[in-house]
Amino acid sequence: DSGVTQTPKHLITATGQRVTLRCSPRSGDLSVYWYQQSLDQGLQFLIQYYNGEERAKGNILERFSAQQFPDLHSELNLSSLELGDSALYFCASSARLAGGGPKEETQYFGPGTRLLVL
Amino acid sequence: GQSLEQPSEVTAVEGAIVQINCTYQTSGFYGLSWYQQHDGGAPTFLSYNALDGLEETGRFSSFLSRSDSYGYLLLQELQMKDSASYFCAVNQAGTALIFGKGTTLSVSS
């Protein structure tokens, strides 16, 4: 158990709909990352938040957005869903940004949310 | 652009040693991490190299050569439970991991 929690575990929805995925980082971790894993694309970085502020963006579609709240939990919002958005969505957390040793930068992954768009 | 290359599949038998190579081309390189992922599960951290050389953690070792943009994960005394996907990932300073596409390791008896 990494200490990172994600809800829901599974989500089935229809094209055009909007869903919200939730992540609670490990206690004390300030940095949250969202990744998408699909069969043909591997693990793709979507977006990173650090202590409530957006820190970095990866291959995140404009239909997707995220935020990190004062209690450090994060939500990933996916809208106008398409069949191709079906994937595993992982949240990861780390204690801090680079500048410390590798322990502080190790990313711990949650169990993921499996999204199926029909 | 940024890219990481690793073999897509490796097979081995119990008790054997296997090496999974990773070459990378990225900007802002800070270190190389290795993650293990069992089918449908979360990636879990295995090792991290920031400096050239070998890091050993039990049956697993990881190596980095920054000048060659190359690293590998060495798994010794393979067990059936080691069957999983293994990802190399580049740590870029202060930001997310860039993952390779993963190597599926199948261990047979």
Q: What is the pLDDT of residues A55-110, one digit of tens each?
A: 889 889 999 999 999 999 999 999 999 999 999 999 999 886 544 455 567 889 99
CA distances from A88 to A83, B2, B44 (A): 13, 23, 15
A112 in Cβ contact with A89 (< 8 Å): yes
Is A109–B91 a contact, with Cβ atoms under 8 angstroms apart?
no
pLDDT tens digits for range B47-95: 989 899 999 989 999 999 999 999 999 999 999 999 999 999 998 766 6
Count chain A–chain B contacts defined by CB atoms under 8 A. 64
**A96 touches B at CB < 8 Å:** no
Closest residue by Cα to residue B41 from A50, A90, A60: A90
To the nearest whole angstrom, how far is the Cα of A84 from the nearest Cα of chain B? 18
Nearest CA in chain A to B48: A102
Residue of B2, B32, B97, B98 to mutate, testing the A interface (most A Cβ within 10 Å of its Cβ): B97
CA distances from A54 to A31, A77, A84, B90 (A): 10, 14, 25, 20
A56 in Cβ contact with A66 (< 8 Å): no
CA distances from B52 to A57, A99, B28, B48, B63 (A): 29, 18, 16, 11, 7
N residues, chain B: 109
